Structure 1
Amino acid sequence: MSSRSLPEYRSSFIRPTRSSRARSRRAAVLLTLLTLLLLMWPCAIASYAAPTAQSAVHPSLGTIGQPRPQSTKPLDPGTLTSITVTPADSSIVVGITQQFTATGNYSDGSTQDFTNSATWTSSDTTVATISSSGLATALNSGSTTITASFDPGTGVVSGNTTLTVSPLVLTSITVTPANPSIVKGTTQQFTATGTFSDGSTQDLTGSVQWSSSSIGVATISSSGLATAVNTGSTTITATSGSVSGSTTLEVTAATLTSITLAPTNPSIPIGVTQQFVAIGHYSDGSTQDISSSVTWSSSDTTVATISSTGLATAVAAGTTTITATDTTSGINGTTTLTVTTATLVSIAVTPANPTIAKGTTQQFVATGTYSDGRTQDISSSVTWSSGNTTVATISSTGLATGVKTGITTIAATSGSVSGTTSLIVTAATLTSIALTPPNASISAGTTRQYIATGTYSDGRTQDISSSVTWRSSNPGVAPISDVSG
């Protein structure tokens, strides 16, 4: 027994020592950690097992552990590579307008008209301005670069050409036909031809201001189309600035007596079109093309349909009656259209392998051969294309325009059938023009067709009748068509 007293011994037994207090704190911490571990254990087990049931999703990478889904966006059929502006290197005089066209060329060989969607600019607006639709107006003599630009989303693509404005002065305007006579209710198309200070001429029909002195007799549109309202006489005038030209239009009371259709009783295969013309015969013995003012119909639209302009489309084998009716008088004319089961077997494109100069045109014709051996001009119903639109473009009617030197393939396609030929564009320049027939003589009231043949610096000749401007020195004696000669 210790010599310490009992109270002192009890006190030393009950009061914890410093080391025992430290051990107690460690035990409390361990107990707390163990409790937390036990509480978290089920969650840890669940989270560990979760990836075996499903894959985690990352907001930017997609599903982790699985292949990323491939894009379903369709491939771009073609990339816009260039824009061709036509006509190439044109020349006009002060005060005149020039319509430009922008054609987009794609990497797959296809083309698209960008005339109304491109951004048009003129490098020198003091020489010529240009509208958002590609219509340039000549202001002063000089040269300017006309540019058409378009951004398909991958960068701006553009094309350009040069417009030259000459300082020529418009000296006179001739309105043709001279002093025509038409029937009340019908129309007459007028043409305005401008003559300039150097003796050259130009068709100004679309740029002059048209007027009728008596709109009670006949009205006239901004494009020169007169409509006869009542019998009488009116003066038709074309004005550009301070220069004008006029002619007299007589409206008669002659009545329509009959209508004939041309061609008579044609036969065409399925899928082919046929253009009909309605000729009106009047009480005064005159005749007039009234195709645009009659109502066209087909008695059996399952065989062939017909448009408001008289263009019939063959749908199925059989026969149908094509009728043109004057809604005012009720008079009509008819013909029979036969549709055969013959199929198109080949297409020939003519002329074969022609050569033209840069800036000139070439009209192509597509002739289809059918299974029954018959042939037909199908130029208006095929799809025309140029293999290289930077060398030459081609219109929906088969008119090719040489853009730059080179060679391209011209194709005419109908369904799965096509025909091709090559077109060569050279840098030759026009040196002279010859007219045929020379020194012709005709009777009053009759017509004469002239042909303009151009001779080029490479010795080659070409029919340029459709690309020249025609002029008569005395239109009062013999007016001439500014379009065809």
Structure 2
Amino acid sequence: GGGGGGAVLTQLAITPPSFEIEVGGTQQLVVTGTFSDGSVRDLTAASTGTTYTQAGDVVTVTADGLVTGAAEGAGTVTATNGAVSASTSATVSEAPPEVTLEDLIVNPDAFTITSANGRVQLRVLGVFSNNARRDLTLAASGTTYNVDTDGIVTISVDGLVTPISDGQATITIENDGVTEIAVATVALADEPGECEDDIVVLDSVRFAVDNLTIDEDEDIQLVLLGVNCDGSIVENLQSSDESSFTSSDESVATVLNNGVLSGVSEGEADITATFRGFTATLHVIVLPVDEPPGQGNDNDNENDNTNGNENDNEGGDGGNGGCRGGAPCGTLGFVEALWLGLGWYGLRRRRFRA
């Protein structure tokens, strides 16, 4: 073909001049012709007189310049129109194998809840065919949770287990056709007795969750609760100057005296909290995560409740009201109790390595 009048084709150019594709991948070539009168014309299609040839069997090419990777290696495609030609080089690589989910690791996979206010957060780690690991705990990652027995526990869409009554239930966890189970046992303690002289005093302390699984380089605010002799709950003892926390293995997990827990490396450790001579222990599992989930916006959740609000209770025999020895005896409303059961999970913070 010509550029117009008596102009003749003087040069061909192929775009791209070189390219890389995978076996089975394609690349559309574009051929441009320059004519003796300076005009430029698209000569890609076979209808313009352009033909294509390839050297070897690394690629194939259609009549209109669509290249397909056929085998691993390097090859050349040449476009010819009349007496003018141009070439491009192709590098073909093997397509990576499809990455599929092969296994789920659930932590904990068996646990016991002994308090009506106890909560257990399941953590689900996906193991993929390329050996990568990814946190699949949240429903947004495609994980679903189902309980086989009604009336023992409930479980949220994101894997938070709440007790209902004594018994045992099996939780089935599923993602992309892969399933795993966790066994929940509920053995609630007897109702608390009456307080001596009707004066409410602190009877014990415990964590808001019975166990915890976190990732390496992840920070979580622990919540320490006080349990009074009448069964009422005192919130946020971790904020008190009288609270202290220690880790049984700081190479696995560390904890500050304000209750901020940090995962360090894969393993297990026990976190011990102390408040006014009372102690509580939390078992922590730290998991490695090779492929962290997408970073979302971290919304700062702040708890504005003060620690240990004291209620004036009229004592028996005309005695003065209040808590013996200054011990906290504030009770917890429904909303605050719900926050304590769930809020620790909302306060999670992930620290990514630079």
Q: Under a length normalisation based on structure 1, what TM-score does the superposition of the two structures give?
A: 0.28
